[in-house]
Amino acid sequence: MALASYFDGSYIGRSWTDGSFVTLAGFDAEDTIWAHFNDRWQAILDDDSKRPKTKYLHMSEAVHLKREFSHRNGWDVQKVFALVTDLLMYMQTLDKQRLRQFACTVDLKVHRKLLAEGRKLNDPIEICNEYCPYSVLAWYVTKYPGVIHSAHYFFDKDEPFQEAFREKWSEEKERRISPGGADMFWSLIKSVASAAMRSTPALQAADLLAWATNRILSKAPDEPALGKHLEHIMKQIIPSSWILWDEKKFMETGPLD
């Protein structure tokens, strides 16, 4: 079997590192699960019996009724909620031993504060890349009920995570050729690539997770009500690995060497 992991990012603020929160979220499963997932996800998007059909799910568009989800196309908040509910109802039927979700969030305000105080910290993008893709390998090693011959990582294009992780992967592969180099699990990763979220259902699921994770942390008064419960629901129906880098977590880990 081959594992395929799909990662999408979300941020609150002006940019990936100049705002209040940044999140990298993803889903991992074997390729046989993804084949069924892609077909069923698209079938739900195509179902226009209760709402308009849509080509993709993108949460920032959907909750603000923009582009594909505009009023002109027949959408309103209730119909968006119905679509998300149907997708989650499907996702809870998936094999919970062979599919897992991952999310890492960095509190950017705390990160900037600690840097200003002289703490040595990794870049927020590096922090997210350390947690999510690494956690996929840890899940396989400790809990996955099968034998995997390869792992393939896909990141949403035009985001900063994929290139940073590709560089790390390349470094670790080079280190493996000498004694005392990287552990054997880096050799499982056979490819690191980008993909288009709007044509990749697994990335749309990752976008849903990343968006929901950030929304539960946002204090903005105009945040859509839909986002206040999604993270909790997704944690209940899909096995998860989750971390929030807030001040307590940063202080627990101590400064970098």
Residues 171/178, Cβ–Cβ less than 8 Å: no
Residue-level pLDDT at 181: 44
- Phi, psi for 30 (deg, rounded to 5): -75, 160
Q: How many other C-beta atoms can be found within 10 angstroms of the C-beta atom of residue 225? A: 10
Question: pLDDT for 188-247, tens place per residue?
Answer: 889 999 999 999 999 999 999 999 999 888 766 666 666 678 899 999 999 999 999 999
Does 54 or 222 have the greater pLDDT score? Answer: 54
The string of pLDDT tens digits covering residues 133-142 is 888 888 888 8
- Which residues make beta-bridge pairs with 236? none
**Could you tell me the end-to-end alpha-carbon distance of the chain, in angstroms, rounded to an integer?**
38
